[in-house]
Amino acid sequence: MSSNSNKRRRANDPESYRSKNDKKPRTPSPTEWTDIGKTPSPTGSEALAMINALTLSSPDRPSLRKISPVPYLLTTDPLIQVLGLERLNKDGYINLDSVSKPDPGFGYGKHTTPAVAYRTYKKTNTIDADGEQDVAVEEDSYIHPIFFRDRWETQELASSSSPYWEELKPVWQLATLLLEEKVMSGYIMGMLDRSSHTEIKTRFDGHAVHWFQCKERPSKQELWLLWEDLWDLKNCIKWSALEITEERHRGVSGTTKVDRSVSGLSKHGVGSKIVINENVLSILCGRINASDFSKPWSPGTDNPSARLRLQWSLATTMVHELMHALWLARHGTTSIEPFFRDTRFSELGWQWETLIYGGAIAPTSDRCEQPYGLQIQNWPGGITHVRYPTLQNVGPEPPKIIELFPVEMSWVADFFKQSFWDFVERYGRPGIVCPVPAEGVPFTY
């Protein structure tokens, strides 16, 4: 895009990431706030051509297909080769001794956050003066409407006569907490504010390339505008199931496709359909078990543990994909996703995961059904399966060897506990980052 198409605004302008091409005026904030100062990204000519060719029809709410699980074990996975499944399980990386129910209202135990206060305002047109309340959040505010059943095309999750959407409320609740987590708001705001991006003196298949950094100390008024974008984004996206018809799909948790039948958040923005691996949805809807995808091992995959792991992963995948959908809704398909600082790959979803968790988390044995647990590594690295824009001569030289670390199941379980979110409220991002052992397993890629 030409630099003249979106002139730089003042740094203290709360509308700084708004484009002059926004299609409609923004909803004014309340009087009390007026004075308060696992996926391919749409990048490169090949990727842009693929995205521009995708035109999706009206949703018909298909049901999940009947799945015939095929047991799988990637014996060349470094963690499996070096540590083995028995040791990984013994050390707490696959099965839990027991799985507890999520705490009621986890994440909302003490007060209403500004993000929830905004959603309350949208529903009731009332809000506390400072955007926070010293009372527990009402249950109907636990889940952002972007995750409501009316956003789903898959029959099992869209139909009011089906129990599955209700049963998976902990997933939608966790996804809401991750999406609205204030420690990541600066990342999303910096991502959207194209006027603050810096052009890199290189081209990717003829397209301009930019980098961005987090918005430092956003004001409450600026946060208000971000929550408004997330609120409006619910009208720009749909959720559906990704049918696994090719071998290359088996390792894809979710991906974002352009839906040109839906308007975006600006003149050039477009809607999206986010598709989630059908095997993951089938497991979480109780049609099959994660252990059905496991080769025999001792003591074997514990299904309640695997289900909890998949609930956490689905929430993470959904927010990961929303980073792409938000970019598309604001800036469309003609602009390449920007690089974050000197990161060598341009991929907004993986970058979000890396910042909030301290690395990129993926299934051990490279299957989305996750019968063998999870692993974390520095990103970018060998985790990427598709072609992203890559900076060859900018930033530090990437390592040829990285370390893989198993992810503790107790850490995954903590996300569904109020005590975890109390800790995050007090300490911020360090309370979320995934703990890792002192030494990992080397991996050459």
Grade residue 44 by pLDDT with cuts at 50, 70 and 90. very low
| Separation CA 268–CA 402 (nearest Å) | 39
The pair of three-digit structure tokens given for residue 12, joined into one six-digit string: 């203290």
* pLDDT over 50 at 231, yes or no: yes
| Separation CA 443–CA 206 (nearest Å) | 34
Grade residue 187 by pLDDT with cuts at 50, 70 and 90. very high
- For range 395-408, the mean pLDDT: 78
* pLDDT over 60 at 181, yes or no: yes
Looking at residue 80, its pLDDT comes to 96
CB-based contact 305:291 (threshold 8 Å): no
The pair phi, psi for residue 416, each rounded to 5°, is -100, 15
pTM for the structure as a whole: 0.84
Closest CA to 196 of 183, 208, 213: 213
- Residue 388 contacts by C-beta under 8 Å, 6 or more apart in sequence? 40, 41, 43, 44, 345, 346, 347, 380
Axis crossing angle, helix 303-331 with helix 220-233, rounded to the nearest 10 = 100
Looking at residue 7, its pLDDT comes to 33
Looking at residue 201, its pLDDT comes to 81
Lowest-pLDDT choice from 132-146, 178-192, 241-255, 427-441: 132-146
Lowest-pLDDT choice from 6-15, 115-124, 278-287, 293-302: 6-15
CB-based contact 327:43 (threshold 8 Å): no
Strand order in the sheet with 374-377: 360-363, 374-377, 401-406, 441-444
Helices (H), 249-338: 278-284, 303-331
Encode pLDDT of 360-375 as tens digits.
999 999 999 999 999 9
Looking at residue 412, its pLDDT comes to 98
**DSSP letters for 181-194:** -GGGHHHHHHHH-G
Looking at residue 390, its pLDDT comes to 55
Looking at residue 32, its pLDDT comes to 29
Encode pLDDT of 199-209 as tens digits.
988 777 777 88
CA atoms in the 13 A half-sphere facing the CB of 192:
30
Looking at residue 182, its pLDDT comes to 86
| Separation CA 31–CA 224 (nearest Å) | 13
Looking at residue 137, its pLDDT comes to 73
For residue 299, say if its preceding peptide bond is cis, omega within 30 degrees of 0.
yes
Encode pLDDT of 12-29 as tens digits.
333 444 544 455 434 333
**DSSP letters for 366-433:** S-TT-TT-EEEE-SSSTT--S---B-SSSSSPPPSEEEEEEPPHHHHHHTTSHHHHHHHHHH-GGGTS
The pair of three-digit structure tokens given for residue 437, joined into one six-digit string: 């052992």
The pair of three-digit structure tokens given for residue 5, joined into one six-digit string: 């198409």
